Amino acid sequence: MSRILVVDDDDQLRRALRINLAARHYEVQTAADATTALTLAGHTPPDLAVVDLGLPDLDGVQVVRGLRGWTTIPIIVLSARDAQATKVEALDAGADDYVTKPFGMDELLARIRAALRRAAPEPGAAILKTADFTIDLAAKRLTTATGDVRLTPTEWHMLEVLARHPDKLVAQKQLLREVWGPAYENETNYLRVHLANLRRKIEPDPARPRYLITEPGIGYRFTP
């Protein structure tokens, strides 16, 4: 289930979007201002954000920049402003799409589906095989010779981030931002605890890890 963050100060529009998105089995978070939106995103990272430009505390472009500073999720901007310069500014800030108000709900839902499809990994290219297990990133599945390995959502998210950068060092702060959000980028104890649990589930010898390598004080590396 994809999680969508809706940021708009129009109560009726927020309610309409929540109802329509929930009816299509999306998990929905809503915020009426930029500060709440960035806080929500930091604590529970969404899979896509719909952001109005006319917010009461900050301009929506600042929300786009704030999100784009740590995440690559699709961002769709909503605005009653239809000037080309405004659209260019929002797109340059990191937005993926721009929808002018008033808009049809079906059109917005179609754009959301399209953005999520573009953000999803290619099915065939998202499979990593090692000597001991196979990771299917598209299906969110880890399999060994004896069957599927059950991971918690946090364990899976950590493994997914590392597996998308095979043989490359992922800094501690980057991993914390991508899994827990920017509010947690100094909570390195989270990494130690969850990585130890993950190693117990996938490493042949957790005491001498072969796949999840620690670079002390710097970050972690997945070596397939």
pLDDT tens digits, 82-102: 778 888 899 989 899 999 999
The domain ranges of the chain are 3-119, 124-222
Which amino acid would we find at residue 124? G
Record the tokens describing residue 15, joined without a space: 């309610």
CATH 3.40.50.10470 fits 3-119, yes or no: no
Average pLDDT by stretches of 10, the chain with 224 residues: 94 96 96 95 92 94 90 90 84 91 93 86 71 88 91 89 88 86 82 92 94 92 92
CA distance 139 to 34: 33
Can you tell me which residue has the tokens 């493994």?
159
Q: CATH topology for 124-222?
A: Arc Repressor Mutant, subunit A (1.10.10)
* DSSP code, position 47: S
Gyration radius of the chain over CA positions: 19
CA distance readout (Å), 188 to 126, 183, 201: 28, 12, 21
Strands 75-79 and 97-100: parallel
Tell me the whole-structure pTM to 2 decimals: 0.64
pLDDT at 121: 60
213: left (phi over 0), alpha (psi -120 to 50) or beta: beta
